[in-house]
Amino acid sequence: MSLAKIRIVGGVPLHGQIRISGAKNAALPLMAACLLTDQKLTLTNVPKLSDIQSMTLLLDQHGVQIDTEQDRFELWAKDITNTVAPYDLVRKMRASILVLGPLVARTGQAKVSLPGGCSIGTRPVDIHINGLRQLGAHIDLTEGYIHAQAPQGLTGADITMPLISVTATENLMMAATLARGKTRLINAAREPEIIDLANCLNAMGAQITGAGTDTITIQGVEGLHSAQHCVVADRIETGTYAMAAVITGGELELTHTSVDLIAQVAGTLKQAGASLEATEQGLRVRAPTIPIQGVDIMTEPYPGFATDLQAQIMAVMSVCQGASMITETIFENRFMHVPELCRMGAHITVHNASALVRGVKSLSGAEVMATDLRASVCLVLAGLAAQGETIVNRVYHLDRGYENLEQKLGACGAMIERIAA
């Protein structure tokens, strides 16, 4: 685990172009989808991230042959030699739970470690488990593992999900592609990553309709075949760099992405005084000519304001004119960036799920540390705007979700460097 740090000297308005990478949260389920077929799945535009490396290691120990060349991954689950996803791999990346549905659907069994919680919340997986039970799997939870059996295969069912869950929707959608008959996922998540996964599965021969709406219908098929799929652009990275332009008073063009992926965030940034316009290659973001205006924000499942951009918008609002009430409705403990921002001079008070941000004229650099990948990048944004030097510790969080962060920001004028521990 890298103990390197990121050093930033703030106060430089960013100008230039940033290429947005493929979405981490699309690439992870897409990689797991290779388990559903004994033919090759080729993915392009795969981001170079440590979470992708973790999923590669996990699939490798299931027996998947993975050949990579830059952003191109060829995954071949010809034979699945091991249906156990061990604790030491799953605990490092919760998204490992995404192999559960495909393993059960393809082999009739799986033993996957319960992911456990993380810094932002307890993050249960009951919706994944109950959904698979409704598809006919027999599941025991013993010794910290999910033991799933479906020796006769899975049978389609109507599954009403009690909460909108992104990876539960993905897990059950993948499992249902090989179930006998029809499955409907009701109260499904609607994220673009789910549409991207459905598009890839359909290219592999699945019969999925309704992805992107709250009801997804999957008609089971005998088997899936090879396909090639390009990973959708990362909307969280897009939103993050759009906010980098705003907080530094600069202007950035973000390419290989689309403003449609961040419609709600774009609306918030426009209310704050920024301008965002679609361009040939993606979008252009200009900071307000007046001080950033305070805007109230509530995180919600897509198409609402993304919880993965909550920490970042809080950094922006910490230097707004006026105030901003930010309410986190998805996770129960996602304000750990608040004390770190306050150490940089932000004026934020938290009451339960809401943080009141009273804008200050400017932040001052400090040594800070983060607890998850989105809180880390929030501190980078704050450092880019702060007067003086900011040192962000625990850089390994950043490397999970942001490809070439220093290079992308440095190319636009940021004074940012990685320093070895």
- CA 206, CA 9: separation in Å to the nearest integer? 50
The answer to the question of residue 167 lying near ligand EPZ (CB under 6 A) is yes
Residue 265: name the closest of 213, 324, 308, 319 by CA.
Answer: 308
Per CB under 6 A, does 168 bind ligand EPZ?
yes
Residues 122 to 161 in contact with ligand EPZ, rule: CB under 6 A:
123-128
Give the active site residue among 34, 118, 378, 412: 118
Catalytic residue list contains 118 = yes
Rg of the chain, C-alpha, whole Å: 21
Segments in 8-139 forming alpha helices (H): 24-32, 50-61, 87-90, 100-107, 126-134
Q: Which CB, 164 or 368, lies closer to ligand EPZ?
A: 164
Q: Report the alpha-carbon distance of residue 2 to residue 99 in Å, rounded.
A: 27
Among 374, 394, 397, 408, binds ligand EPZ (CB under 6 A): 374
343 sits in which H/E element? helix 337-343
- Fill in the DSSP letter of residue 349: E
Name which of residues 380 to 419 contact ligand EPZ (CB under 6 A). Answer: 401
Instruction: Check binding of 92 to ligand EPZ (CB under 6 A).
Output: no
- What secondary structure letter does DSSP report for 279? E
Which of these segments, 118-126, 141-149, 243-251, 310-318, binds ligand EPZ (CB under 6 A)? 118-126
Task: Return d(Cα 323, Cα 26) in angstroms, integer.
Answer: 34
Q: Which residue has the tokens 């979008």?
A: 283
Task: Tell me which of 8, 12, 20, 28 binds ligand EPZ, using CB under 6 A.
Answer: 28
Query: In whole angstroms, what is the distance from residue 129 CA to residue 131 CA?
Result: 5
**Residue ranges in 53-82 that form contacts with ligand EPZ under rule CB under 6 A:** none
* x/- map, 324-363, ligand EPZ, by CB under 6 A: ------xx--------------------------------
Please select the residue that binds ligand EPZ; options are 166, 185, 200, 276, rule is CB under 6 A: 166
Residue positions annotated with a catalytic role: 118
Binding site for ligand EPZ (CB under 6 A): 24-25, 28, 95, 121, 123-128, 163, 165-168, 307-308, 330-331, 373-374, 401
